[in-house]
Amino acid sequence: MSEFAYRNGVMHVEDVPLPRIAEAVGTPFYCYSRGALVRAYAAFAAALGGLDATICYSIKANGNLAVVRAFAELGAGADVVSGGELERALAAGIRPAQVVFSGVGKTRAELAQALAAGIGQFNVESEAEIETLSALAHARGTRAAVAIRINPDIDALTHDKIATGRASDKFGIPWPDARVAYRRAAALPGLAIAGIAIHIGSQMTSLVPLEAAFCRVADAVAMLRADGHGIRRIDLGGGLGIAYRFAVEGQSETVPSPADYGAVVRRVIAPLGAEIICEPGRALVGDAGVLVTQVILCKRNKARAFVVVDAAMNDLIRPALYGAYHEILPVRAPAAGAERAPVDVVGPVCESSDFFARERPLPPVAAGDVLVVASAGAYGAVNSSTYNARALVPEVMVSGNAFAVVRRRLTVTDMLALETVPDWLGERPVARRGAA
């Protein structure tokens, strides 16, 4: 979060004070630092420097076109998991040959769309998908480059809802069945075996499970090459975590750096002599974004004190969905020695799960104050919804001393324009005076 810092008591994003943006676009809004995106990408590129490696940004973490374009300008490819994400990648300037299409449930239409676009690799996750892709590619008179995603049955030691490499998870082909799957793929028309793929989870704060998964991949590569398959690419997926706790003394997190990750790749994977693909998402964008919100009111009951803000779980669902922790900071630095008191920071949505923090020690805040929900660049805006008919909030990008709205605020009028009432429901009823 080095691009987000207090200057003269006011939180800045690079060289722009956050209150200036809040005044211009209103709250709530997401704000991204281009400098933070560049810095995070450079760290990964340095960690893999000298290797035959491609960084394919995982678009599911944050699909904003300006964010993806920033990575495209740096030479990144893209990891996509839907036809919509493929369109975003191409619209942002990612070259088709640098696109990897992952995902456990690609439709025939999505596979055909990716074939027409000429993407670089399909990460197939089932024998049924192998058959379907073969038929579609053969009918087009082309060959699709495929890597089979194996499930190594390794616990990523992360949140249960974002672990993807255990035998009980829906992703990939069980690693003991890899031999059979590759034999079948090699026998089918329209397919060209390019490599092997793996991804065991997200927000991993230890390299131990990653190294175990990489070792399993290395064993599989040796076995498959002995069977005559040309494994020339190894797709390592993503999953490296970030430190969400950094402001509270005694509770800060330590996570592996890209350099630490790169050292494992060099030790386990590089000796195999294959092209390497990695697919970081959160590690590139998580710390590059914040959610900015204003306090509506403060209230207290017998049990708790509440700070009610104008952002809600529909804007940032991670705390409600995962119990995720985000630092919450006032946009104006509190006075030195300001006493902190535990409060619940909650939104206006009609759900008890609509919260950003429980019993969080914060300095005194009042109605009208602006707060920053930190490390919200990943799985924030991309997971937002219009629940309670709340408009999607704007997204802003800062570069140096300039900022631009990179997604405007969706209005209720915009939402209503997407809907129609069938004629057989009759005329719009006239509101009755005094009706509840």
The total number of structural domains in the chain stands at: 2
The CATH number of whichever domain residue 170 belongs to comes to 3.20.20.10
Q: Note whether 287 and 326 are within 8 A (CB).
A: no
pLDDT in tens, 395-420: 999 999 999 999 999 999 999 999 99
58 plus 116 within the same structural domain: yes
76 plus 172 within the same structural domain: yes
348 plus 241 within the same structural domain: no
Residues 373-390, mean pLDDT to the nearest whole number: 97
**Percentage of the chain exceeding pLDDT 70:** 92
Q: Note whether 69 and 415 are within 8 A (CB).
A: no
Cis peptide before 28 (omega within 30 of 0): yes
Helices (H) and strands (E) in the chain, counts: 12, 21
266 plus 294 within the same structural domain: no
* 430: in domain: no
390 plus 293 within the same structural domain: yes
Q: In which domain, by residue range, is 371 found?
A: 287-417
Which band of pLDDT confidence, cut at 50, 70 and 90, is reported for residue 100?
very high
Question: What's the pLDDT score for residue 151?
Answer: 81
Taking residue 48's Cβ as centre, other Cβ atoms within 10 Å add up to 20
Confirm whether pTM is higher than 0.85: yes
pLDDT in tens, 23-51: 999 999 999 999 999 999 999 999 999 99
By C-alpha distance, which of 67, 60, 64 is closest to 81? 60
Q: Which residues are catalytic?
A: 350
* 3: in domain: no
The CATH number of whichever domain residue 320 belongs to comes to 2.40.37.10
Alpha-carbon gap, residue 154 to 189, rounded angstroms = 32
Q: Note whether 205 and 253 are within 8 A (CB).
A: yes
Q: Inform me whether the pLDDT recorded for 10 exceeds 90.
A: yes
By C-alpha distance, which of 252, 350, 254, 356 is closest to 307? 356
Q: Inform me whether the pLDDT recorded for 360 exceeds 90.
A: yes
